[in-house]
Amino acid sequence: MRYRVWMRLAFLALISVFLSGTFNAQKKGPLDGIVDIHAHGGPDFIPRRYDELDFVRRAKTAGMRAAVLKSHEVPTTQMVALIRKLEPDFPSFGTVVLNRSVGGINPRVVEVQAQIAGHYLKLVFMPTNDAENPEKHAKNLPYVAVSKDGALLPEVYEVMKLVKQYDLVFCTGHVVPKDALLLVHEAQKFGLKRVVVTHPANQGTTIPQMQEEAATGAYLEITANQIIPGMQDGTDTILPNPPGHMPEEYIGIIKGVGAEHLILSGDFGRPDFINFLPGWPMAINVLKKLGVTDEQIDIMAKKNPAHLLGLDDPKPAK
């Protein structure tokens, strides 16, 4: 009798394990485990496909692990603090981008954002839309400089001090390649541990320059929205890839720099880009068809960004 009871209990245990595994498998979504450090949503100064709360809720349902919410013109830290109250079990983080709208290279705005309740500021960007480049000079447009005569401006070092003090991530923004190289080398000397070169392919950075940047310990970003071939789904919701930015270019970057130095982010959110939910799988499928392995994709889209954000860091003892 006792034997039958034990057999029945063992059978029930096996059924429980099977059902638990099936349930967990069913819980996995199409974006399972992805950590997106470059997510755009509204409200913003330009139209967006969805607001940030909607993005977080959709991303969570799809299995995304965490996300960084970015605007080029306004800090997102306060919005993240509110979203965290509504979705406390989805790690979302804020950014500040040092464009003219926040005073350019303004250490004070970094200090204030870092101290907002919850301490959700995570990424600090050098200028993006207002970065100095030849087009700005040719059209006599205003810009935010980060260097002069081959040396970083003093206020950039003040920002670096705050990044180090508050354990933030330092990002190069849309600066030209020579300034990006200067930034990552000085960040390394300054002892910054978390540095990202913001989508260097978009700034015309060469593979040797990227390799030099990676050698400093910085992560280099490639973005999923640029990998999807233009008009792939037969609609006008995807911008055609600009010249020199076909998917094959990113294979060259992955081979030349190495997945261990790269982060694959989304950069979706504009109305003329496809929605991030189908966009992410489309970009991953393109990479896989061109020979990128599942392991490399996991390193770029999951492991490296999780490390960058400290998601796997040991929790401090209470």
Domains of the chain, by residue range, sit at: 35-309
pLDDT tens-digit readout, 93-122: 999 999 999 999 999 999 999 999 999 999
Tell whether the model's pLDDT for residue 131 goes beyond 50: yes
Q: What is the pLDDT of residue 22?
A: 39
> Average of pLDDT values for 230-251?
63
pLDDT band at 146 (very low <50, low <70, confident <90, very high): very high
pLDDT band at 318 (very low <50, low <70, confident <90, very high): very low
Sheet harboring 195-197: ordered strands across?
A: 35-40, 66-70, 92-97, 121-125, 169-171, 195-197, 219-223, 262-265
Q: What is the pLDDT of residue 220?
A: 98
Question: Helices (DSSP H) in 141-229: which residue ranges?
Answer: 154-165, 177-190, 207-215, 224-227
Retrieve residue 275's tokens.
Answer: 């929605």
Retrieve residue 274's tokens.
Answer: 């496809």
CA distance 302 to 11: 37
Tell whether the model's pLDDT for residue 152 goes beyond 50: yes
pLDDT tens-digit readout, 5-16: 444 434 333 433
> Average of pLDDT values for 271-288?
92
pLDDT tens-digit readout, 8-58: 434 333 433 334 443 344 457 899 999 999 999 999 999 999 999 999 999
Q: What is the pLDDT of residue 179?
A: 98
Retrieve residue 113's tokens.
Answer: 């954002």
- 201 contact partners, CB below 8 Å, separation of at least 6: 222, 226, 245, 249, 250, 253
Q: What is the pLDDT of residue 247?
A: 86
Q: What share of residues in the chain are helix, strand, coil (percent, to 5)?
A: 45, 15, 40
Assign domain 35-309 to its CATH architecture: Alpha-Beta Barrel (3.20)
pLDDT tens-digit readout, 165-212: 999 999 999 999 999 999 999 999 999 999 999 999 999 999 999 999
Q: What is the pLDDT of residue 29?
A: 86
